[in-house]
Amino acid sequence: MVYWSRFFIAIATGIGSVFALREAVTGELASVVYPTVAILVYALTVAFYRYGLRYGEAELKTKNRAITLGIGTFICTWLATVTLAYTLFGLH
């Protein structure tokens, strides 16, 4: 559940941040703001799984698994989604 939900959250974060921030953030500032939004969303998922759903060592098999599970997928999916959104919708 954690892995696949982070995959879909990364897609939503990529598309959402591109459309929500396209008018407000441009140029070099965009290269800072978009990753910051992604990091904040990922941190929220960590807090949600750890404290909201109370996933701990027993459910995730190791102590820090709530942080590490799906991080690579989240980053790659988010990056691909932002790139595709810019390209497909002509926002570049």
- pTM metric for this prediction: 0.81
Identity (one letter) of the amino acid at 22?
R
Summarize pLDDT for 22-74 with one digit per residue, the tens: 777 777 887 788 899 999 999 998 888 878 777 666 666 666 665 667 788 99
**73 Cβ contact partners less than 8 Å away, ≥ 6 residues apart:** 3, 6, 7, 10
Residue with tokens 């404290």: 51
List the one residue out of 29, 10, 8, 16 whose CA is nearest residue 85. Answer: 16
Calculate the dihedral angle through the C-alpha atoms of 20, 43, 62, 78, rounding to the nearest 10 degrees.
30
Domains of the chain by residue range: 2-21+30-88
pLDDT of residue 47: 85
Q: 80: which 2 tokens?
A: 């691909």
